[in-house]
Chain A
Amino acid sequence: EDQVTQSPEALRLQEGESSSLNCSYTVSGLRGLFWYRQDPGKGPEFLFTLYSAGEEKEKERLKATLTKKESFLHITAPKPEDSATYLCAVQAAGANSKLTFGKGITLSVRP
């Protein structure tokens, strides 16, 4: 069965203090790895899809990377508005394959 483990569960950063969020996964043939951001009381908002080891994607202060066993979401010089829960999900190869989500990492950025 596909598994996704995210660490740490919670992370508190000072504004401007860069860090990385980890997503380890086990999947029978990776089709894609997805990163989402979820704000309190809202649905997950799509950030990135990564398809193969070595791939990187960037958006503003966020950069996502992928290896064969894990993905990192690097946050450079975070701002308070980056505070949210970041979810990682994997989709296995095969038709109509579901997304398997991790529990998420709650990031708090203090001004």
Chain B
Amino acid sequence: DTAVSQTPKYLVTQMGNDKSIKCEQNLGHDTMYWYKQDSKKFLKIMFSYNNKELIINETVPNRFSPKSPDKAHLNLHINSLELGDSAVYFCASSQGTVDQPQHFGDGTRLSIL
């Protein structure tokens, strides 16, 4: 019944490794997002896809690469992980890009050792 689901929930890895986070939504929405919430709890948009097309690409290092195989999935791949990448990453979805509330997953807590 989970509307927006992310895997894994926790990710602990070494600096320099490459990792992926997966997101799936079963709400029938056409827009999906990746957010980063840092230790100060500030929630910031990273990317957004509408109908598999990238529409928002904030100032994010090239090491972060989103991929949307279809409207229901948006994955995030991170290369050469750095200490500063430690954060909680949230996936969200909405119907359309304007006015509509976004529905969030429960986050993936990434810890870099």
- Residue numbers of A with Cβ under 8 A of B are 31-32, 34, 36, 41-46, 49, 51, 85, 87, 89, 91, 95-99, 101, 103-104
Are the C-beta atoms of A96 and B102 separated by less than 8 Å? no
A46 vs B104: C-alpha distance in the bound complex, in angstroms?
9
Chain B residues with a Cβ under 8 A of chain A: 4, 40-45, 48, 50, 55-56, 58, 90, 92, 97-99, 101-107
Minimum CB–CB distance from B97 to chain A (whole Å) comes to: 5
Are the C-beta atoms of A46 and B103 separated by less than 8 Å?
yes
Given contacts A98-B45, A98-B56, contact A43 B98 (CB under 8 A): no
B90 — which chain A residues lie within 8 A by C-beta? Answer: 43-44
B107 contacts A43, C-beta separation under 8 Å: yes
Report Cα–Cα, A95/B53, bound state, in Å: 14
Residues of the A chain whose Cβ atoms lie less than 8 Å from the Cβ of B99: 31-32, 49, 51, 91
* Contact B41 A85, beta carbon cutoff 8 Å: yes
Q: A31-B99, A32-B99, A99-B102 are in contact. List 18 more A-B contacts (CB 8 A).
A: A34-B101, A43-B4, A43-B92, A43-B105, A43-B106, A44-B90, A46-B101, A46-B103, A49-B99, A85-B41, A91-B98, A96-B50, A96-B55, A96-B97, A97-B97, A98-B48, A99-B45, A104-B41
Q: How far is the CB of A21 from chain B (nearest CB, A)?
A: 15
Taking CB atoms, residues of chain B closer than 8 Å to A97 are 97-98
Residues on B with C-beta less than 8 A from A98 are: 45, 48, 56, 58
Nearest-CB distance from A99 to chain B (Å)? 7
Q: Is the CB of B105 within 8 A of A101?
A: no
Min distance, Cβ A103 to any Cβ of chain B, angstroms: 6
B98 touches A49 (CB 8 A): no
